[in-house]
Structure 1
Amino acid sequence: MDRMLQRGSHVFSGISRPPDYALSRPSSSGPGSGRASGLLQSLSGGSEPAGLLLIADSLECEGRSLLKSFVTSAALREEPVHVFSFELSESEFSTGLDDGVRARLQFHDGFSDPLNWEKCGTFTVDRFTARDLLASVSPPPGGAVLPCTVVLDSLSWILQQKQVVFLCRVLQEFQRGATRAELKIRKVVGLLHADLHQPEVVEAICQLASTVVTLTPLPESCGLRMDFPPYASATIVHKRKSGKVLKKEEYFTVEDRFTLRTSVEPIQRQETGGGGDVQVVDPAANLTFNLRLTDKERRTKESLTLPYHFSTEKKTNMLQSGVGEGKIYYEPDAGDDIDEEDPDDDLDI
């Protein structure tokens, strides 16, 4: 818990926007402008089924902005969005969202009284079960079943209170129960602060997810030739229902009103200066064996007659043979054991 408190604005302050440079919308378009639809854009837009989508961030590269871009995209598709928030209050989570997006949010408060000390009837950590999750996202009796998105913010808080086995079981039972109840859940988006947990814990949850988006900061020394300054790099591992696994690396930024902008092109690094002659490195230098032939060895190799080449006599006889004639040419090798006697001489035939 102390480590989560040390994350500062990354967890509790609600200031999850990227730096200011990412908030201005560029007017130019080009090969690196991000207009091409990448895998991250398809997952956000809903054209690519996601199942359980996990956003793994860290203190160096926060992921709540990307999470809110998924929320905004779902709300713009007029889908109800169920937000189970344990790290931010409803007002803090809604900061920066449009009124139309806020109207689509169905907030389940797990922040005010997560341990049920005040008995105020909020969504406590003890209610984080498959049955209570299904009851929270199910429509009222007689209501229409609409496609919806479920947001879990965040799984790291649950892991502070429960074991990873419990969390994996709840997520798996929730997805199976939603299928049996014929609920139209497009995706379950979970935020995980990967730097707070052991690698084996993160790996267990990633194995359960059908899509994992791992965020890493951009190297400070890399030069970018793109029309917009990307905020971070996203490594995406997406498992389709057909069994095909896609792994891509994309660069993205979250603009004003949590609009996602991606670039599917790799980062082009600027060439280092210094106009000296480029030294060519010999890969065969400093080896314990020789990869080259001397002049004598080359002449010996060229004068060697290979066993599968025709001799001069054989070529002459083949060219002089008439039509309809056939001959068998056999040139014994040095190791052949030739017996001149008839092997069947002792047989009475």
Structure 2
Amino acid sequence: MLESLSGHGGLVLLRDSVEWEGRSLLKALIRQAALRGEQIQVLGCEVSEEEFREGFDPATNSQLVYHDLFQDPLNWSNTGEALPGGALGVLRAMRRRAGPGPVTIALDSLSWLLLHLPCTALCQALHALSRQDSHRDDSSPVEHVCVLGLLHEELHGRGPLEALSSLAQTEVTLSGTGGQASAHILYRRPQHRLTHKVDPTTHLTFNLHLSEKEKEVKDSLTLPFQFSSEKQQALLCRGLGQPTSRIFYEPDAYDDLDQEDPDDDLDI
């Protein structure tokens, strides 16, 4: 199971809870990546570097490149050892620091990052970090990238959880009954972009195009609302013998017709 989780690449969400912790699974996946000879970068936010490295053999520890945000994330001690750009700057730089070959990036944890960064900024950084077609500074593509993100789902609302879930290639939800732990794994197929254009009129049952003869007939047709020069001359220049327009009015029984001037009493 461990091989298949990290073998798909992309973002892998490890969703744990208070009852069923997921850091042990995260460290197990890191061990598997070390056995495969992959580069491993860890962003530590919740525990110290010593605690996180505990339990790894010397060979695995030697392969870890650890970025420590736990000890002094905001450089309050003014030691000058804080990571440039903070958590977001580290996320953006981790991919550029990777050498050739497959890379595993472990985030311990996404919950800490989500509580200290805007959700949109974090999602954009994760999307850029887990893209399989991105390049390093030397413009050479990274062969394979797997981002392992530990997420304490009880700490977040539905919106942030759904946003991170939409980015994940694989989701592992830890649970259990009666003291027996279990893991529900959800894989998503990668979406492939179309590399060729599709004509939407290919399979229509009617013709949308005109032949040359039909185009000539269409262009020569005079529409009823169009005024040609002949029609304009006929309306503007009537002959002397032609009758002009007349108005016919037939009064009804209720019309009050007064032949006298209605305003004759006004001194105008």
What is the TM-score with the length of structure 1 in the denominator?
Answer: 0.49
Mark the CA change 1:147 to 1:155 in structure 2 (over 3 Å): closer, same or farther: same
Question: Where does 1:115-194 land on structure 2 (aligned, <5 Å)?
Answer: 115-119=74-78, 120-123=80-83, 126-129=85-88, 132-139=90-97, 145-176=100-131, 179-181=134-136, 182-194=141-153
- Contact 1:49 1:186 survives alignment (8 Å): no
- The equivalent residue for 2:2 is 41
The 2-side partners of 1:162 and 1:209 are apart by: 18
Q: Higher Cα Rg: structure 1 or 2?
A: 2
Deviates more, 1:181-190 or 1:73-82: 181-190
Question: Where does 1:60-71 land on structure 2 (aligned, <5 Å)?
Answer: 60-71=19-30
The equivalent position to 2:184 in structure 1, one of 231, 235, 251, is 235
Deviates more, 1:105-114 or 1:158-167: 158-167
The 2-side partners of 1:85 and 1:204 are apart by: 22
Residues 99-128 of structure 1: per-residue CA shift (max 9 Å, x gap):
11111111011111112222332337x433
The alignment partner of 1:189 has SS state of strand
Mark the CA change 1:146 to 1:49 in structure 2 (over 3 Å): closer, same or farther: same
- The equivalent residue for 1:15 is none
- Show structure 1 runs of 4+ deviating over 4 A: none
The equivalent position to 2:15 in structure 1, one of 31, 37, 56, is 56
Amino acid at match of 1:198: G
- Contact 2:2 2:32 survives alignment (8 Å): no
Question: Where does 1:1-349 land on structure 2 (aligned, <5 Å)?
Answer: 40-44=1-5, 46=6, 48-119=7-78, 120-123=80-83, 126-129=85-88, 132-139=90-97, 145-176=100-131, 179-181=134-136, 182-219=141-178, 231-241=180-190
Aligned residues: 187
Amino acid at match of 2:3: S
The 1-side partners of 2:132 and 2:72 are apart by: 27
Gaps of 5+ in 2: 193-268
The 2-side partners of 1:133 and 1:193 are apart by: 19
Mark the CA change 1:138 to 1:70 in structure 2 (over 3 Å): closer, same or farther: same
- Contact 1:150 1:185 survives alignment (8 Å): no
- The equivalent residue for 1:312 is none
Mark the CA change 1:198 to 1:158 in structure 2 (over 3 Å): closer, same or farther: same
Amino acid at match of 2:116: Q
The alignment partner of 1:128 has SS state of helix
- The equivalent residue for 1:310 is none
- The equivalent residue for 2:231 is none
Mark the CA change 1:165 to 1:73 in structure 2 (over 3 Å): closer, same or farther: same
The alignment partner of 1:237 has SS state of strand
- Contact 1:54 1:190 survives alignment (8 Å): yes
The 2-side partners of 1:43 and 1:118 are apart by: 42
Residues 144-190 of structure 1: per-residue CA shift (max 9 Å, x gap):
51321000000111112122222112111333496133123430000
Mark the CA change 1:62 to 1:121 in structure 2 (over 3 Å): closer, same or farther: same
Residues 39-83 of structure 1: per-residue CA shift (max 9 Å, x gap):
x33324x5x313100000000100000000000000111112100
1:133 Cα offset (Å):
2.9
The 2-side partners of 1:145 and 1:202 are apart by: 32
- Contact 1:43 1:50 survives alignment (8 Å): no
